Every structure is written in C-alpha cells, then in structure tokens.
Structure 1
Amino acid sequence: MQLLILSLVLFIGLHLIRVVVPDLRRAMIDKLGKPVWGAVHGILSIVTLLFLAYAFDQARGMYGTLYNPPVWVAHITLTLMLIAVICLVAGFLPAGHIRTKLKFPLLVAIKIWALSHLLANGEPEAIVLFGAFLAWAVLLRISMKQRLRNGEIKLPVFVSAKYDLYAVIIGVVLWAAILFKLHELVIGVSPLVM
C-alpha cells in the first residue's frame, strides 16, 4: 500500500503544481520555456501514471475487502460510467451545450469515474486510489473556479449543438469498447462480471 500511496502522491502532486506551488511552475516556464515545460510535464505525467498503475496492481488483493457492494450497484456504476465517458469526450470537442453547461467536463468525468468506482469496489487499495482521484478532482475544480474569477482562464463559448451529438455518439462507442473489451484488457477485470 505504501507504494500505491507514493505513486498517488507523485502523480497527483505533479498535477497540483499549479494549485499548490504556482511560482515553481512559472519559474520552470521562465527557465525552460512553455513548450519544454509542457513536454517535461507530459513525460513525467506518463511515467508517474505508469508507476501508479504498477503500484495499484501490486497492491491488488493484498488487503482483503472492507465491504462487498450489492450487485445492483454494478448497474449504477455502468450507467455513471456512460455519463463520465460522454463528459470526457465533450471536454475534447468544441463547445456544445454539454461543455458549456459543465464548464469543466474533464473534471466532471474524473469525479463521476472516481465516485462510481468507489461505489463498486470495496477493497482498501481501490478506496485509496479512487478516493484520492475524487479529492484531486474536487481540489482542481476549486482551483479552476478561482482561476476563472481571476481571469486566468475563460469558459468555453458555445459553438454548435452538433458537438453534443458527437460527444454522445463517440461517448457511447468508447463506453461500449471499454465495457466489452478495453477494461478487461487494460485492468484485467471485466466490468460485466458481477
């Protein structure tokens, strides 16, 4: 579990630099330039994410189960994940109604993903992982709200409702791919096994 906690601290800490130590980020951008800082941050993000996946895999099954969710919770989780994937896709498309109403659809997707997995998993390592991601997304949302008030960022401006349709269609296809193959391939567990 210590390895999992360390990996979470590294991954989430890296992604909270702007929130916790904004002067460090600015200093790194001044020293390296924005493209180089972006590349370094991106590479570190991938490395810490891979470390996080490894640490979670190592912790899996070592600590038993704190609770066994009822079978019907799996149906709620699958439905919430459909919504999360649609929000995720909307966050990468030009603004439709979904993106403009949610303001930060990627953070909404992370919160829904984490919450739905907290509902469905009673293992201590899962609770630590998904609880940490939920807390991280909440902190980022608070930070984004502050940055919005300070004028550092702007809300997306509505472009067309067709992007909502694209988000739903691509989201459903991606959700189905995750549900029927990708989750088992990447995580080793089928979400359809209840």
Structure 2
Amino acid sequence: MAYLILGLVLFLGVHCISIVSPDGRDRLVARLGEGAYKGLYSVVSLVGLALIVWGYALSREAPVMLYAMPGGFRHLAALLMLPVFVLLLAAYLPGRIQRAAKHPMLLAVKLWALAHLLAQSVTGGSLADVLLFGGFLVWAVADRISLKRRAAAGRLRKVPALPAGKANDYIALVGGVAVYLAIVFWWHAAWFGVRPFGG
C-alpha cells in the first residue's frame, strides 16, 4: 500500500501545483527554466504513475476490503465509462463536444473514477480502490474548482490542441467508442485481469 500512496502523492502532487498556487507553475518555470521544469514534471509524473501501477497490483495480493456494490452497479459503471474516451479525445480536438464539456479531460477523469468506485460488484471495493479512484476523483473536482477561479483571474494557460474543425467531433466520437469497445472486450481483461462484463 505504501508504494500506491507514494505514487499518488507524486503523480497527483505535481498535478496540484496550479491548484495550490495559481502562479506556482510560472514561479517554477522562472526559477528552473521551461525545459528543466517540463523535464522534472515529466519524470516525477512517470515515477508516480509507475508506483501507482506497481502499488495497486501489490495491493490486490492481500486486499483490505471495505465495501461491495450490488451487481447492477457494474452496468451503471459501464454506462458511465462510455463517454470517457470520447471526452479524452475531445480534449485535444476542439469542437462542439469540447465546448459543451468545457474541460473534457477533467470530466473524463471524474467519470472514470466514479465508474470504478461503483464497479466493485465484480471484485469488491478495497482500500486500494478507494485510494486510487477516490484520489483521482477528489483531484479532478478540486482542479475543476481551481480552473474556475483561475479563469476568473485570467490565469488559464492554453492547452495544446489540433485546429478546430467540424470533423473533430466525429473523430472523437468514433475513436472514443472504438477504444471503449476494445478495452471492454479485450484490453481490460488482458491488462488488469478483470472482465468488465464478467465471464
């Protein structure tokens, strides 16, 4: 569990810089330089992500069970997951989906985290599940609130994205649904040993 917690602290910690201090990123860039800041940010994020994956895998060997959801919640979770990959693609493909969602990446993270907290009718909800998915859910909510404040203060940075176009929504929709189907029917079982629809 310690590796999972350390990974979450590192990964979510670097992603909380602007939440904790709206000008924190700019101060670090001024002190370290743009390249050094991005390099350090990337390394800490990757180390954190690796520790999260490793720590979560270790926690499944001796889980500390906290709760179990009714079987039907698995289907609700699958429904919540359907727009997640569409939103992830829409974050970088400006169009109507991106405008409607406002912050599609954060909405995707919230839906992903909530879906996985509800999906525990398959394996049961463990302390590791609450730490992992609950941690990301809390971070996404906090970042969304922070973004509103930063927008009001004129401190939002532009996120790199492809040029806007009418085709972007179709690409996000078709691509997102394709990724969803691939994960549900093949990749999730291969990578994580859990079939979302059982079997």
Q: So what's the TM-score if we normalise by structure 2?
A: 0.87
Distance in 1 between residues matched to 2:90 and 2:44, nearest whole Å: 26
Distance in 1 between residues matched to 2:9 and 2:165, nearest whole Å: 39
Q: Residues 116-141 of structure 1, C-alpha deviation per residue, up to 9 Å, x if partnerless? A: 10111222211121111100001110
- Kept in 1, the 8 Å contact 2:3–2:55? The answer is yes
Matches for 1:156-175 after TM superposition, within 5 Å: 159-175=164-180
Distance in 1 between residues matched to 2:77 and 2:177, nearest whole Å: 15
Equivalent position of 1:98 in the other structure: 97
Distance in 1 between residues matched to 2:24 and 2:150, nearest whole Å: 17
Equivalent position of 1:44 in the other structure: 44
- Kept in 1, the 8 Å contact 2:6–2:48? The answer is no
Letter paired with 2:192: I
The alpha-carbon deviation at position 191 of structure 1 amounts to 1.6
Letter paired with 2:63: Y
Matches for 1:123-162 after TM superposition, within 5 Å: 123-153=126-156, 159-162=164-167
Q: Residues 49-102 of structure 1, C-alpha deviation per residue, up to 9 Å, x if partnerless? A: 011111111111523432222222111111111111111111121x11110111
Distance in 2 between residues matched to 1:103 and 1:137, nearest whole Å: 13
1:176 to 2:181 alignment? yes
- Kept in 2, the 8 Å contact 1:103–1:155? The answer is no
Q: Secondary structure at the match of 1:190?
A: coil
Higher helix share: 1
Moved over 6 A (4+): none
Letter paired with 1:105: P
Distance in 2 between residues matched to 1:47 and 1:69, nearest whole Å: 32
Equivalent position of 1:34 in the other structure: 34
The alpha-carbon deviation at position 7 of structure 1 amounts to 2.0
- Kept in 2, the 8 Å contact 1:148–1:154? The answer is no
Equivalent position of 2:194 in the other structure: 189
Q: What do you get for the CA RMSD once the two structures are aligned?
A: 2.1
Q: Secondary structure at the match of 1:66?
A: strand
Structure 2 unaligned blocks of 5 or more? none
Q: How many residues align?
A: 192
Q: Residues 24-64 of structure 1, C-alpha deviation per residue, up to 9 Å, x if partnerless? A: 53333113321331122112211110111111111115234
Structure 1 unaligned blocks of 5 or more? none
Q: So what's the TM-score if we normalise by structure 1?
A: 0.89
Distance in 2 between residues matched to 1:161 and 1:75, nearest whole Å: 32
